Amino acid sequence: MELQKKLALKVVKEDTVRYEGIRYVCGIDVSYAKNKAYCSALIIKRHTWQVMETVNISIHTTQPYIPGLFMIREARPALVTLKSLKNSFDLLLIDGHGVLHPRRCGLACYIGIALNKPTIGVGKRLLCGSVREDQFIDDCGEIIGYKVNNTGNDKRSVYVSIGNQISLATSIRLVQELTKEAHWIPEPLRIADINSKNKLNFEREI
């Protein structure tokens, strides 16, 4: 918890890359079975949706799931997998929260700081705060995220927040742009989620 508080102070909440300059987007997701983490990362070309590279790695894990401390369990498999990519990317989408966190440092912040990359947190459930009528998420008077609903089904919403080196306004715009019609999860994360749950993809184990 102390580490999260310290890292929260290092999060850069402004755009460090031009919106037009974002060409390649990486998405990463992890699924679990018994004591193994199955992590999939892929890079897509932003304007064509073409998948440029995919890496799937399974890792033994002993860390339990603790609410609010998700990064302890998921950081290692995520970082190992991301560092195995051969190609570079301009933006990273994480299946997890960024500053939308009680201590303002979720998994997306941790990974974004570790990699020094523009990173967006995309969570599937609200961890803290309350959703206002304008869909911005307020916690103790501070705007920490935004609810995106692309399907009309309130149960299929995502909660967007800053991970690192990107503004909330740009994060919202990109998540909406990267979500295909009738889908509710941005395409890089949607594909990574499918890949992580298909154990036949995992030939490489660490």
State yes or no: pLDDT of 151 exceeds 90. Answer: no
Q: What is the pLDDT of residue 60?
A: 87
Query: What does the pLDDT average to over 170-179?
Result: 97
Q: What is the pLDDT of residue 68?
A: 66
The pTM for the full model equals 0.93
**Cα separation, 97 vs 206, whole angstroms:** 26
Terminal alpha carbon distance of the chain:
28
DSSP result, 97-159: -SS-STTS--HHHHHHHHHT--EEEEESS--SSEE-TTSEEEETTEEEEEEEESSS-TTSEEE
**CATH superfamily entry for domain 2-200:** archaeoglobus fulgidus dsm 4304 superfamily (3.30.2170.10)
